[in-house]
Amino acid sequence: MLPVVAAIGIEGIVGIAIGIIVLLVLIIPNIKIVPQATTFIIERLGTYRTTWETGFHMKVPFIDRVAKKISLKEKVADFAPQAVITKDNVTMQIDTVLFYQIVDPKLYTYGIERPIVAIENLSATTLRNIIGDLELDQTLTSRDIINTRMREILDEATDPWGIKVNRVELKNIIPPKEIQAAMEKQMKAEREKREKILIAEGEKESAIRVAEGEKEAAILRAEAKKQAAIREAEGQAQAIIAVQEATAKGLQMVKDVGADDGLIAIKGLEALEKVGQGASTKIIIPSDLQGIAGLTTTIKEIAKS
């Protein structure tokens, strides 16, 4: 080892060491590691060379350079409020939020200068055009329609720039103060109207329930009277039937004992005698009973003689 060192000499060793150091200085800065969701735009002598994806890469010293590092993650652009005029000449302030993503790093790098500023200006003009075709009430109630139309227009316009617009949202819609005051009065009147309608519907429902209750009560009372009348009529009918049955039984008994007309007449006279004992009683005697009475008087007279 010593003879080799002696043969090379101290100056040679120093030269080799310097060469190694220079080589490391030249190589190490040109070694690049591209992280996840990131791309590097590489230019060679000022001209686009390639796009580095995620991983280990090395460029040629003094010839290649990293022109731009681009993140492929979705980004958010919050634009300042824009003054817009509706179809019915109402001026309001609207600010938008845009969600976009770079899908072509080369077009994004070389397609347009300051692409985010370009998107902001494009969104402002697009918003003015859309709102200009809508009235105030439509603007306040058509957020989804406005968002969809803006996204479609901006996405188509930014395709040559390597940008994809994923979503556009209207963050705030600020009408003039006098319009806000009128809207608050309208909302208050609408709430009062709904309250009166609910009260009226409640009173109506209550009246209907009361009427239905009275109707059911009247029906029940009528049904009760009907049942009472039926029961009374049935009782009277049963009483009549019982009287008729008793009369029929009495006649049958008279028939069974073989009573003749004379006996029947005598029984009739006895009944008339009892009736005649009452005061102010006028009795009309049938002709057949008068004959029997005469016969009875004759029998009594014969008995006395």
For residue 38, the model assigns a pLDDT of 93
For residue 295, the model assigns a pLDDT of 45
Provide the pLDDT confidence category of residue 255 given band limits of 50, 70 and 90: low
Per-residue HEC secondary structure of 5-53 comes to HHHHHHHHHHHHHHHHHHHHHHHHHHEEEECCCEEEEEEECCEEEEEEC
Q: Where are the domains of the chain?
A: 2-71, 75-175, 177-235
How does 51-76 read in b/e, with b if 16+ C-beta sit within 10 Å?
bbeeeebebeeeebbebeebebeeee
**Mean pLDDT score, 205-221:** 87
Of 215 and 245, which is predicted with more confidence? 215
Q: How far apart are the first and last CA of the chain?
A: 205
Provide the pLDDT confidence category of residue 268 given band limits of 50, 70 and 90: low
Work out the number of other CB atoms within 10 angstroms of the CB of residue 131.
24
- Give yes or no for residue 275 having a pLDDT over 70: no
DSSP three-state, residue 163: strand
Q: What is the pLDDT of residues 133-185, one digit of tens each?
A: 888 888 888 888 999 999 999 999 999 999 999 999 988 888 878 877 777 77
Lowest mean per-residue pLDDT among 145-159, 179-193, 288-302: 288-302
**What separation in angstroms does the CA of 303 have from each of 15, 87, 125, 218?**
197, 138, 150, 76
Q: How large a percentage of the chain has pLDDT more than 90?
A: 24
**Mean pLDDT score, 69-89:** 89
Token representation of residue 5: 């060192």
CB 82 within 8 A of CB 71: no
Q: What is the pLDDT of residues 7-36, one digit of tens each?
A: 556 777 777 778 778 777 777 888 888 999
Q: How large a percentage of the chain has pLDDT more than 70?
A: 78
CATH architecture of 75-175: 2-Layer Sandwich (3.30)
